[in-house]
Amino acid sequence: MHDELAHLDATAQARLVERREITPLELVDAAIARIERFDPRINAVVSRQFEQARERARGALPEGPFRGVPFLLKDLSSGAERGAPLTYACRLGADNLADHDTELVRRYKAAGLVIVGRSNTPEFGITPTTEPALFGPCRNPWSLDHSSGGSSGGAAAAVAARLVPLAHATDIGGSIRIPASACGVFGLKPSRGRNPSGPKVGEGTGGLPGEHCCSISVRDSAALLDATSAPDFGAPYVAPFKSRPYLDELDAQHSRLRIGVMRAPFGGQPVHADCLAAVESAAVLCRELGHEVRDIAPRVSDMPAVAEAFFRLFVVSAALHLKSLEGMVGRPAGEGDIEPLTRAVVSLAGQVSGTDFVLAQRTLQRMSREIAALHDDHDLLLSPTMAQPPMAIGEIAYQAGEPLEDYFARSGPYAAFTAVFNATGQPAMNVPLHWNATGLPIGVQFAARLGDEASLFRLAAELERARPWASRLPPLIL
């Protein structure tokens, strides 16, 4: 039965519980067995909360849509759970325990999810690969020598290896979509303000971050967003209200979509042939499904200024994470407490004045209006998710003392297509439709107008029916 459960998404697992064909404890025990069997090879789960999960599964769980389903939280601040480890994948926080549940975690629990552990992430989530010094690298289930992406690499790898059917993930520049692409799973970054960031945080830096999940199926992602996306009172942003549950969108009739295909990122970086092939295949499929598909080559005015603005918000975000953790543990970080990349990035935050920060926000807001104008003629934008396939473990690792521009030149292809939609706040998703000749997943990204997750879910469900991916499993678990 354990092996059979591994092939079911969260919705199907919850239905077994609802029909009393299985108990929540049996679901949790099955997930624990899979983690113990497969995770030593991929290192996706860095904190095991097995006994707490079993105790919760034995108790009176809420009658939510995912009652009894095992779940992983990402080891960053939005995944804080009272009494559980919250390390930020940083040696400074190795023994830190969270003192509260975030509002998002509270809603996960209200949905009936059972938290079995925490997933691997780079230190403070600042890299597009998951290779923290504290826990070691998270490996790709499709090829153990390759990166699982980042910063939600543990979440995506765990779902790809069917350790759990869905897992919490966060995204400040592509950190849901990048690992979802690298690991061949579905991953949607919602609109700014769609999911809560409280109670202790009003917003992620400059409104860049988004929180949701990586999942096996589209319906799991839709149902989870239905469960978590009520207004977060007091928050600085409120996403446009949806007209009906996202789960209802999956089988809804919808009109022909106008899809613009971007084959080059706004920054002009080169794109690997495998990623272009994935986009071409997706474009052909969308045409076969009756949608209007045409190539576009949009440009953003003064892209260097946009890149600099994003970088300024990014380094300030890293500094804020470090400052927050220092406050939790009650001391400043020493020389050996943080990684060289974090130290180099945080050192630049001190050079960003308050005026610089506000001007950076204004630059991204101006750019957001240029991107929004594209939707006058296009409902969705299609592109590669990453500009190149997943790289080998260690291939883009930062070398202490090297110029940061050299590191970002190596890591930039991961986020070349994704980061712009963090700046605009638009919803965007990775859809796992393509694998290259060596067997590595190559995802494609669709982005919609601000607030229009509905169109993304409708198309994703259509693509999933036309080209199912759930039965395609990595060699690790075959």
The one-letter code for the residue type at 157 is: A
Active-site residue, 323 included: no
Q: How far is CA 302 from the centre of its chain?
A: 28
**Residue 122 to residue 76: CA distance in whole angstroms:** 10
**Residue 105 to residue 417: CA distance in whole angstroms:** 29
Q: Both tokens of residue 252?
A: 């809804």
b (16+ CB within 10 A) / e for 360-385 = bbebbeebbeebeeebeebbbbbbbb
Q: Both tokens of residue 96?
A: 């830190």
Active-site residue, 74 included: yes
Active-site residue, 471 included: no
**Residue 290 to residue 437: CA distance in whole angstroms:** 28
**Residue 266 to residue 296: CA distance in whole angstroms:** 11
b (16+ CB within 10 A) / e for 249-262 = bbeeeeeebebbbb
Give the active site residue among 147, 175, 181, 217. 175
Of 197, 224, 176, 240, nearest in space to 422 by CA: 176
**Residue 150 to residue 144: CA distance in whole angstroms:** 15
DSSP 295: E
CB of 316 within 8 A of CB of 364? no
Give the active site residue among 143, 147, 151, 181. 151
So which residues are the catalytic ones? 74, 151, 175
